[in-house]
Amino acid sequence: MAYPEAGDRTILPLLVTSMAVVAPLLFILGIVIGNHLQGNETLSSDSISSWLSAIATVAIAILTFILAKETWYLREAQIRQLQELKRENIRPNVGISLENSPAGIHFFNVKVSNFGKGIARKIHFSFFDRDGHKVSTTGEDIVVDEFLKLTMFTAGIRSMGINQVLSSFVFSFLDLTDQVGGDVFKAYLNIVVDFEDVEGSKYSNCFEIDFSQYGGFSNVGGADATYTIADEIKKLRQHLVR
């Protein structure tokens, strides 16, 4: 349903009101001029009163219709605002990102997060290359193949709660370089995430991962300190058990 612009709805009542006030005056003026041209100087007060009553009734009816119409527009606007507010309060927002693993800078984890205000359902992932062509089967793209090894990227995710995060190791830059047989930093991914809220409204997010942004990364001191300490404690425990 199309609605008039706010400016049009503001001018319309003023215009109609002005016409309703001016019309009786013009009508009476027309009667006076007509009688004068016909040589009849007398004008029946009863006829004028009757015409004025009729015109006033029509003017009131028009103004009542305009008021009802404006009230309806206001009601429709309030309903749309309430619906939009309700939708925003249950709207999920699923994102995907790559992050370094604590085990080493060349190890990468993929993280899927729902940082929206509602539960996300029926989450599906689609992969596209730099030219916008969809990559859906293994063997088409080596980098995509690493993602497709994880079930959530092939079968999707049934549901994710608010602030829920799913994280998993996805690939090593060193292994990926050997598989690509060239410059791994030329790789590019465009991942489209489709999902729904609890009422079935559909949403879509698009994430571009350009591997060239990881060129030149280095890490002084090796792996994450917390991971290193935990690994050393594990080795010490195994040594004591023996």
One digit per residue, the tens of pLDDT, for the chain of length 242 reads: 444 454 455 566 556 666 666 666 666 666 656 655 565 555 555 566 666 676 677 677 777 877 888 888 888 888 888 888 888 889 999 999 888 777 767 788 999 999 999 999 999 999 998 888 888 777 778 888 889 999 999 999 999 999 999 999 988 877 777 776 667 777 788 999 999 999 899 999 999 888 777 666 555 555 555 555 555 556 555 655 66
Per the confidence metrics, is the pTM higher than 0.75? Answer: no
With both helix axes pointing from N to C terminus, report the angle between 45-89 and 6-37 in degrees, rounded to the nearest 10.
170
In this prediction, residue 91 carries a pLDDT of: 92
Burial of 37 (0-12, 13-18, 19+ CB in 10 A): exposed
171 phi and psi angles, rounded to 5 deg? -165, 165
Q: Where do the DSSP E strands lie in the chain?
A: 94-101, 104-114, 120-128, 134-135, 157-160, 165-172, 188-196, 202-210
Return the structure tokens found at 14: 């003023």
In this prediction, residue 160 carries a pLDDT of: 94
pLDDT tens, position by position, 125-162? 999 988 888 887 777 788 888 899 999 999 999 999 99
Is the Cβ–Cβ distance between 95 and 113 less than 8 Å? yes
In this prediction, residue 19 carries a pLDDT of: 66
Return the structure tokens found at 81: 């605002």
